[in-house]
């Protein structure tokens, strides 16, 4: 592969599907005008509302979101990641699903989030993702692209489970997608350091699109969509407002770092 520009999109999604998709298109357009060829949208980009609403509106969200991703990829001639949206199951739940599509609108990879966010956060908020979301059972895929390198998928809470990323790097991943809707309380202490750790320990680029701000009632997210290089250097940070973080993914930089720090070759335990 040659060097290319990637974009990590940052949104403040609401419980309004059509409004969110319109905002996502504006930010995709912005990223493309700045030269991005690989564009990544955050978790819950098409709908961020109450968990029970994901179930009630699941079919509509699923159909419109997948159509949107394929249409945008074709319209802008990009490879596009939808970082997480609800796909209904047969047992009245949904999978939190990330979908990667190419510039022909063809599905390249799909991942059903395996780690569900069931946490009592110290700020008083309680999250029970498993009430509505069904955990995926399969390891996340690594998609090998001649143009963009080997791309490993994950979603949000996965970032706290380093064994998942060890698996991706063992499968050859060079770029790790970590789309998220990270809570504001945990994000201020953990988001950046976790992303840098996953990049450093696996000597991979990390592309981490994010949600930011207030979405409904007491749901606040941290923001700071980032792109990080395999040495842990933050190449781009979107701050705390909607926008895009754009940076170069350089295969020579990746090769250089892996030669200087060949830790993946020194693993003892698998």
**Cα 54 versus chain centre, distance:** 19
Catalytic residue among 37, 40, 93, 156: 156
CA distance 115 to 111: 12
Q: Catalytic annotation on 156? A: yes
Joined together, the tokens standing for residue 258 give 């892996």
Catalytic residue among 37, 40, 43, 112: 43
Integer-rounded Cα Rg, in Å, for the chain is: 17
Backbone angles phi, psi at 164, to 5 degrees: -65, -40
**Cα 173 versus chain centre, distance:** 15
CA distance 87 to 54: 9
Report strand pairing: 210-216 vs 94-101: unpaired
Q: In what order do the strands lie in the sheet with 149-152?
A: 142-145, 149-152, 175-177, 205-208, 226-228, 234-237
Catalytic residue among 112, 113, 134, 150: 113
3-state class (DSSP) for residue 161: coil
User: Is the CB of residue 14 less than 8 Å from the CB of residue 20?
Assistant: yes
CA distance 158 to 153: 10
Q: Catalytic annotation on 43? A: yes
Q: Catalytic annotation on 112? A: no
CA distance 223 to 191: 9
Query: How many other β-carbons are positioned within 10 Å of the β-carbon of residue 236?
Result: 18
Residues annotated as catalytic are 43, 113, 156
């Amino acid at each position: 592969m040659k060097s290319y520009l990637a974009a990590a999109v940052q949104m403040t999604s609401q419980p309004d599907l059509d409004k969110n998709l319109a905002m996502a298109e504006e930010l995709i357009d912005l990223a493309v005008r700045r030269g991005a060829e690989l564009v990544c949208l955050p978790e819950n980009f098409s709908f961020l509302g109450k968990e029970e609403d994901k179930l009630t509106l699941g079919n509509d969200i699923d159909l419109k979101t997948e159509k949107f991703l394929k249409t945008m990829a074709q319209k802008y001639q990009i490879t596009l990641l939808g970082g997480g949206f609800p796909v209904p199951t047969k047992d009245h739940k949904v999978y939190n699903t990330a979908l990667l599509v190419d510039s022909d609108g063809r599905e390249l990879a799909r991942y059903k989030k395996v780690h569900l966010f069931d946490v009592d956060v110290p700020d008083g908020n309680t999250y029970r993702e498993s009430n509505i979301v069904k955990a995926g059972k399969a390891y996340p895929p690594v998609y090998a692209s001649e143009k963009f390198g080997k791309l490993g998928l994950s979603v949000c809470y996965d970032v706290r489970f380093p064994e998942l990323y060890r698996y991706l790097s063992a499968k050859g991943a060079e770029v790790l997608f970590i789309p998220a809707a990270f809570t504001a309380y945990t994000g201020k202490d953990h988001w950046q350091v976790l992303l840098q750790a996953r990049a450093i320990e696996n000597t991979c680029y990390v592309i981490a699109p994010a949600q930011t701000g207030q979405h409904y009632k007491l749901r606040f997210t941290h923001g700071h969509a980032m792109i990080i290089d395999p040495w842990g250097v933050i190449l781009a940070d979107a701050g705390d407002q909607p926008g895009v973080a754009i940076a170069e993914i350089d295969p020579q930089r990746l090769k250089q770092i892996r030669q200087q720090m060949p830790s993946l070759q020194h693993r003892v335990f698998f």
